[in-house]
Homo-oligomer: A and B are copies of this chain.
Amino acid sequence: VPTTESMDSLATKPFEEAFNSGLVLPRTLDPNFEDAIRHVLSNPGSLVRPRLVFQMATTYGLEAAHSQDLAVALEYFHTASLLFDDLPCMDNAFERRGAPCTHLAFGEDGAILTALALINRAYALTWRAVSGAPRAKQREALEFIEKCLGVEGVLNGQSLDLHYLDLPHSRETTERIARGKTVSLIRLTLVLPAMLGSALARELQLIERISLFWGLAYQTMDDLKDVLQSSGQSGKTPARDALLSRPNIAAVMGVRAAIQRLTRFIDLGDRVLRSLLAWKPELDFLDNLRGELHLELARVMRNSNALVERDRL
């Protein structure tokens, strides 16, 4: 009997291969460039997103080949955004997906050109995935992608994130940034494949709301972990967000209020998901995500309680 983990790696295998082989490298490629691209393609990360894209797309009747193209395309967009985020002029990161950051191993130029190669390929794969749909649906999908990835979505979120010092340090600001960065990418993962498939307007609306609540929940969770982890280490490691002057809702509202808000986002997500699953039971794979959010919430609450205990002693 395969364990959960081995079953999981079984389910991941085809996505790993698709991620690795989705960008065909010509023989005339500059060797430096080739090394940088191969470094990125051979470290695909958890592949949770492309699996979700594929499940959403096929559940809504998109054919398997198109579903896979879309899954790889969206993961390439996501990976490209990480390559840019990690650059010294942005987050100045050192490690990504268990390997040294691409710009450290192959230069900033190598990281940038690799990100652009992924983006160029992602658009081509997206077009292929969209090509079978009726024109009105094509237009809707492509406008949706433009919004999520462009100046109304991820790019604005990233810019606000980097210039947080100049902005009011409020809940509104942190949530505006989370909508730009985190929610936009979750919308692409969950809403876009449903939109390209046969999802009805009402279903899309529910999936939109789930993406919003889960996106805000994930961001709040990350912020809480950042604050709790550093406090847990007796303040010796300053919170990374504070170090980088980055938005953190737990720093703005306090841990207790942030946990309350997180609980509320998870609750709201649960409620919308119940409506969606009552209507479309085939989407029950979304229940795993809901379950993980609850597990993480429990962990965060435990850490926060431990902290309160410790401060009492």
Chain A positions near chain B (C-beta within 8 angstroms): 23, 25-26, 28-33, 37, 84, 87, 89-90, 107-110, 112-113, 116-117, 119-121, 123-124, 127, 131, 135, 138-139, 142-143, 146, 149-152, 155-156, 158-160, 162-163, 166, 176
A33-B156 in contact given A109-B162, A151-B23, A151-B117 (Cβ < 8 Å): yes
Q: Which residues of B contact A150 (CB under 8 A)?
A: 117, 120-121, 124
Q: How many copies does the complex hold?
A: 2
Among A33, A120, A156, A158, max chain B CB count under 10 A is at: A120
Q: Which residues of B contact A37 (CB under 8 A)?
A: 151
A159-B113 in contact given A127-B142, A151-B37 (Cβ < 8 Å): yes
A167 to B146, CA, bound (A): 39
A32-B159 in contact given A26-B151, A123-B123 (Cβ < 8 Å): yes
**Cross-chain contact A31 with B156 (CB below 8 angstroms):** no
A79 to chain B, nearest CB (A): 14
Where chain A touches its partner, the secondary structure class is helix
**Cross-chain contact A32 with B84 (CB below 8 angstroms):** no
| Nearest B-chain residue to A125, judged by Cβ | B146
- Which residue of B30, B109, B110, B127 is within 8 Å of A156 (Cβ)? B30
**Cross-chain contact A117 with B30 (CB below 8 angstroms):** no
A27 to chain B, nearest CB (A): 10
Q: A30-B159, A90-B112 are in contact. List 19 more A-B contacts (CB 8 A).
A: A23-B151, A26-B156, A28-B152, A29-B159, A30-B163, A32-B166, A33-B163, A84-B116, A87-B112, A110-B159, A113-B155, A113-B158, A117-B151, A120-B146, A120-B151, A120-B155, A124-B143, A124-B146, A124-B150
A155-B28 in contact given A89-B108, A142-B127, A146-B121 (Cβ < 8 Å): no
Q: Which residues of B contact A159 (CB under 8 A)?
A: 29-30, 32-33, 109-110, 113
Q: Which residues of B contact A149 (CB under 8 A)?
A: 120
Q: Which residues of B contact A89 (CB under 8 A)?
A: 107-109, 112
Q: Which residues of B contact A25 (CB under 8 A)?
A: 151
A108 to B90, CA, bound (A): 9
**Cross-chain contact A155 with B90 (CB below 8 angstroms):** no
A65 to B111, CA, bound (A): 36
| Nearest B-chain residue to A160, judged by Cβ | B30
**Cross-chain contact A32 with B151 (CB below 8 angstroms):** no
**Cross-chain contact A33 with B155 (CB below 8 angstroms):** yes
Q: Which residues of B contact A119 (CB under 8 A)?
A: 116, 119
A89 to B32, CA, bound (A): 14
| Nearest B-chain residue to A88, judged by Cβ | B108
A134 to chain B, nearest CB (A): 12
| Nearest B-chain residue to A30, judged by Cβ | B159
Q: Which residues of B contact A112 (CB under 8 A)?
A: 84, 87, 89-90, 112
